[in-house]
Amino acid sequence: MSSLSPPSLPPLLRAIAILIVVLLVAHAPMLLNDGLFMDDWLVLKPRPDYFIDIDFLLNGAGHPIFYSYDRFANWTGAPVVVMVSLAFAGIVFGAVCLMLTATRLGLLDRAEAVGFALIVWTYPGYQLWAGKANAVYVFSFGLLFIGAWLLTLAFSAVGLRRVLLRVLASLVFLLSFALNSTIVLYAVVMFGLFVAIWRSGDAAHGFVCRTWLAAWRCVLRYPELVVLPLVYWGTLNIWFKRIGVYAQHYGAHFPTLGELARGWSAFFAASYRDVLTHAIRAAIQVPALFIAAAVLVGIVLLLLRRDAKTTASRSAITVPLALAVVLFLALSSPYLIAGLRPSSVHFYESRHLLMFGVPLALTLLAFKRQAERWTGPGAALAAIFGASLIVSIGMLWNDYVFMQARTLKQQALARDLASRVQPAATVYALDDGFFDYPSRHVPFGVAEVTGMLRLAWGNQPVFGFALRAERPDILREMDEARKAPGSAFRHFDPTGPQATISLQPGPGAAPNHILARKYYVCRLLARCDVAELLSQLAEVTIKLGPIGGILPLDGASKSVTPGR
């Protein structure tokens, strides 16, 4: 009978399969979310006749790689599908290459590598996993680990294979710089290359001489990797310099020690403390998500229990912990130099936190290895990585639910507006009643409100904003912003007649998790009609006339001019 049994997968392939399946389950809600968020509306076309002008990415923001991805996505006619595919590719291939690199170098055993990769790639402090334009962030992060894996293979390769692997690794690393802060992790990869060369040197030379020789050999043997970030930054600063509001936004300066301390405190709060606080609150409000996460993680731990090995070395504990601290400080430093801060309150302001799952995973790795001193490796894996993954995946799903509910509210508003004739106004303030609804909601941004108006009524020179989210001088601010060099808002017009749109919860309104569950049932089980769900979700009314509480734009034209 045993001869007739199907052969089991080799241990490494089994670990890879477990990793991929868990990631697909954890990020499955991304496949059902076809909504655009925040700046997505400025660079992606929800339908072919929707007007956008993404030249600002080249001539203002200095993002040529972003521009290429967005241009290609719009060219296909299915930008949402392209961006979701990019995000999934970054998540899956990035996680697998992270695991392969760590196990090939002997840094982690298979169980640790799977747990480590899952922590990094389900990190919920980054709440924009469902963002479409920011899928380039996720893809770039994944490319960094793919490049590290290619470099690992090239290190021991010879001949033509070595040349091809190095050329491919250089190209992958270059594309990963689309997320500029990945250069910090790239520096860590280069340090790992230096360490590998140092370890292969002759110990008889002494520490100082051996270190100098290793650095010199690293430069001579891998010159393309040493100059790569210099070439990238030189290219940006010569041909794609940031101008206008983007040059002001990235106000690089040398922060004082006080600024650094406050900045690192803000990053720690948004990256870890607030994530845990919000997870506790979410687990109380929606326990089903965390119960499902516990079942998923329990299955993973059962499958990995044979792969867990004991790591008794003291350095195996202290090195990951020290590296976690160094990486946390280093990853936040580029943003602090630019004067930027994250926020856990507004999902869009979490975009600076994508890579902060790496310091977290390193810290958990050190704790897991310390716990092995008191218990077995399997129990330590379950206690540290298992408990953390339950929190991480449960909170990740909670954020996906929030983003799905946000998409549905946008679609309900756009659908209602599309059924109406456009009123005699081009400037609209959105009075968003969902802000008072007893479920998490963040006011819509300028790009979102304006995008929904243009989606509903065509390429008219409309401008919209959420009434409670903007200052009274929003019209003057937008008028100045659209005239600035390299502006992303040149097709926004805040000068025309005004109206107020009231968006209030309808009879079908529900807390986010219930609303998302209804939508998933409609999409997956076809037990209801999505159009009917949207029609019951919100009630919309429009009132013409000056917008209360908003300062008029001096000298603004009162005529309605046709859009492009």
Residue 202's alpha-carbon distances to 154, 198, 207, in angstroms, are 22, 8, 10
Residue 49, burial from CB neighbour count under 10 angstroms (0-12, 13-18, 19+)? exposed
Mean pLDDT score across all residues of the chain: 89
Alpha-carbon Rg for the chain in angstroms: 26
The residue among 226, 231, 229 whose CA lies nearest residue 216 is: 226
Q: How confident is the model at residue 555 (pLDDT cuts 50, 70, 90)?
A: very low
Q: In angstroms, rounded to a whole number, what is the distance separating the alpha carbons of residues 522 and 133?
A: 26
How much is the pLDDT for 206? 76
How much is the pLDDT for 249? 62
How much is the pLDDT for 557? 41
How much is the pLDDT for 4? 44
Q: In angstroms, rounded to a whole number, what is the distance separating the alpha carbons of residues 401 and 278?
A: 14
pLDDT at 248 over 70: no
Q: What number is the average pLDDT over the span 89-104? A: 96
Q: How confident is the model at residue 556 (pLDDT cuts 50, 70, 90)?
A: very low
Whether the CB-CB separation of 452 and 491 falls below 8 Å is answered with no
Q: How confident is the model at residue 240 (pLDDT cuts 50, 70, 90)?
A: confident
Q: How confident is the model at residue 474 (pLDDT cuts 50, 70, 90)?
A: very high
pLDDT at 8 over 60: no
DSSP string over 48-96: TT----TTHHHHTS--HHHHHHHHHHHHHT-HHHHHHHHHHHHHHHHHH
Q: What number is the average pLDDT over the span 492-521? A: 93
How much is the pLDDT for 400? 97
- Nearest 5 degrees, angle CA 104-CA 108-CA 114? 95
pLDDT at 250 over 70: no
Which residues, 6 or more positions from 92, have their beta carbon under 8 angstroms from its beta carbon?
20, 23, 24, 142
- Angle, to 10 degrees, between the axis of helix 182-199 and the axis of helix 223-239? 160
Whether the CB-CB separation of 396 and 129 falls below 8 Å is answered with yes
How much is the pLDDT for 312? 63
Of 36-40, 373-377, 426-430, the one with minimum mean pLDDT is 373-377
pLDDT at 114 over 90: yes
Residues in the chain: 564
Q: How confident is the model at residue 443 (pLDDT cuts 50, 70, 90)?
A: very high
Q: What number is the average pLDDT over the span 373-377? A: 84
Task: Please give the DSSP secondary-structure letter assigned to residue 193.
Answer: H
* DSSP helix/strand/coil, 256: coil
Share of the chain above pLDDT 90, in %: 66
pLDDT at 129 over 70: yes
CB atoms within 10 A of CB 372: 22
Q: In angstroms, rounded to a whole number, what is the distance separating the alpha carbons of residues 286 and 398?
A: 8
What confidence tens digit (pLDDT) does each residue in 152-204 have?
Answer: 999 989 889 999 999 999 999 999 999 888 999 999 999 999 888 888 877 77
> Where does residue 233 fall: left (phi above 0), alpha (psi -120 to 50 degrees), or beta otherwise?
alpha
> Count of alpha carbons within 13 Å of 432, Cβ hemisphere only?
23
Of 77-91, 217-231, 384-398, the one with minimum mean pLDDT is 217-231
Highest mean pLDDT (candidates 83-92, 370-379, 555-564):
83-92
- Nearest 5 degrees, angle CA 383-CA 359-CA 190? 130
